[in-house]
């Protein structure tokens, strides 16, 4: 028997779309009331508004309308702000399931309104990351939790700042990675 359901969940870990779908099926075995967001490279505000419209409708045959937003960290800042209204004033019939490799990739206001479920996976050593900043974020977040060293927190903030710059500006990627290496040395952060 399932405990009381939350109106919103955040699954933290990599590639959790299938886990989110299985969870949705466990809540209710009705695909007509399930909306899975699909997108190419980012989740736009129009897609969030359409999702909100879908969730405002009464369920077709189940008790709930369930929406899965895989890779929710790919929502633009405007999309995340638009989603806040749904999270702040949840309908009793709507359940949102978001997935992201790290809660630090989403606005804190989004995270604070979700019940977090963490799915830890083996994280490769930092030397294997290359330029995949999402892996860097997860790795150094785990280091921060394990060692509680404020330098890891500062470096994590730098990684997120560089990742956002790369995603939303035309900054040179080599320059950005060089800046991360400099920050790593200045803070004395090790892999």
The CATH code of the domain that includes 44 is 3.40.50.300
**Residue that is written with structure tokens 């991360």 in the block:** 180
Look over the chain and give the mean of its residue pLDDT values, rounded to a whole number. 83
Domain that holds residue 110: 8-118
Q: How confident is the model at residue 121 (pLDDT cuts 50, 70, 90)?
A: low
Tell whether the model's pLDDT for residue 122 goes beyond 60.
no
DSSP state of 49: H
Closest C-alpha to 65, from 21, 99, 31, 116:
31
* Model confidence pLDDT, tens digit, residues 25-44: 888 877 778 889 988 888 99
61 and 17 share a domain?
A: yes
- Into how many domains does the chain fold? 2
158: exposed, middle or buried (Cβ count in 10 Å: 0-12, 13-18, 19+):
buried
Closest C-alpha to 12, from 81, 115, 130:
115
102 and 57 share a domain?
A: yes
* Model confidence pLDDT, tens digit, residues 47-79: 999 999 988 888 888 888 999 999 999 998 899
User: Residue 1: its pLDDT value, please?
Assistant: 39
Average pLDDT for 139-160: 81
150 and 178 share a domain?
A: yes
36 and 89 share a domain?
A: yes
130 and 113 share a domain?
A: no
User: Residue 81: its pLDDT value, please?
Assistant: 92
Residue 1: inside a domain? no
Closest C-alpha to 58, from 91, 24, 26, 35:
91
Q: Is 45 helix (H, G, I), strand (E, B) or coil?
A: helix
Closest C-alpha to 134, from 87, 161, 101:
101
71 and 144 share a domain?
A: no
């Amino acid at each position: 028997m399932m405990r009381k359901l939350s109106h919103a969940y955040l699954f933290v870990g990599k590639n959790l779309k299938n886990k989110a779908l299985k969870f949705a099926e466990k809540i209710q075995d009705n695909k007509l009331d399930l909306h899975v967001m699909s997108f190419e490279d980012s989740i736009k505000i129009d897609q969030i508004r359409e999702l909100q419209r879908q969730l405002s409708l009464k369920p077709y045959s189940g008790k709930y309308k369930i929406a899965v937003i895989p890779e929710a960290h790919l929502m633009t800042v405007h999309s995340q702000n638009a989603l806040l209204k749904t999270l702040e004033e949840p309908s009793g019939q709507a359940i949102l399931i978001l997935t992201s490799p790290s809660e630090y990739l989403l606005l804190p206001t989004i995270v604070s309104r979700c019940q977090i479920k963490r799915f830890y996976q083996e994280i490769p050593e930092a030397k294997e990351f290359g330029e995949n900043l999402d892996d860097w974020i997860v790795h150094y977040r785990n280091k921060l939790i394990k060692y509680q060293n404020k330098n890891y927190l500062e470096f994590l903030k730098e990684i997120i700042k560089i990742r956002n710059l790369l995603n939303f500006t035309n900054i040179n990627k080599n320059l950005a990675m060089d800046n991360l290496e400099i920050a790593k040395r200045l803070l004395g952060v090790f892999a």
